[in-house]
Amino acid sequence: MDIEQKQADFIDHFVKQASAQKGTTLVSIIVEAMSHSSLFAFSEILVVPTIAELDGTKNSMYLEVLRLFSHGTWNDYKSNSGSLPQLVPDQVLKLKQLNVLTLAETNKVL
């Protein structure tokens, strides 16, 4: 199985889990997705309707951090860290890796 297929399978797994849950249970799914060592795409998870329902709730900070993993940067996290959940070292590393991918897409020279 190639890397892209594995990534698609991981995404599908988390989308199905998120679609079947509501409220506080979604927090653990979001944390698990952000912590998953082989998952680097979050947009599909972000658009799951039950995830969007976190907006305006006591758990909306997890929606915000998922948005950062989807299309934010490490600097975005640092600028807003007071209102976001604290990341564990593996999540920090992943967000920094995603930041490098974003820079690679937008800059010719890194």
What pLDDT, on a 0 to 100 scale, did the predictor assign at position 12? 95
Q: Provide CB contacts within 8 A for 90, sequence distance 6+.
A: 35, 37
Instruction: Supply the mean pLDDT for the chain.
Output: 90
- pLDDT attached to residue 44: 95
The Cα 79–Cα 43 span in angstroms is 21
pLDDT over 80 (residue 103): no
Amino acid at 80: N
Percent of the chain surpassing pLDDT 70: 92
Instruction: Give the predicted TM-score (pTM) of the model.
Output: 0.86
Domain extent listing, the chain: 3-106
Q: Which tens digit of pLDDT belongs to each residue from 69-100?
A: 998 889 999 999 999 999 999 999 999 988 88
Q: Helices 60-71 and 25-35: crossing angle, nearest 10°?
A: 30
Please report which helix (H) or strand (E) contains residue 14, including its range.
Answer: helix 3-19
Residue that is written with structure tokens 């989807």 in the block: 70
pLDDT in tens, 42-59: 999 999 999 999 999 999
For residues 65 and 31, the answer to whether their CB atoms sit within 8 Å is no
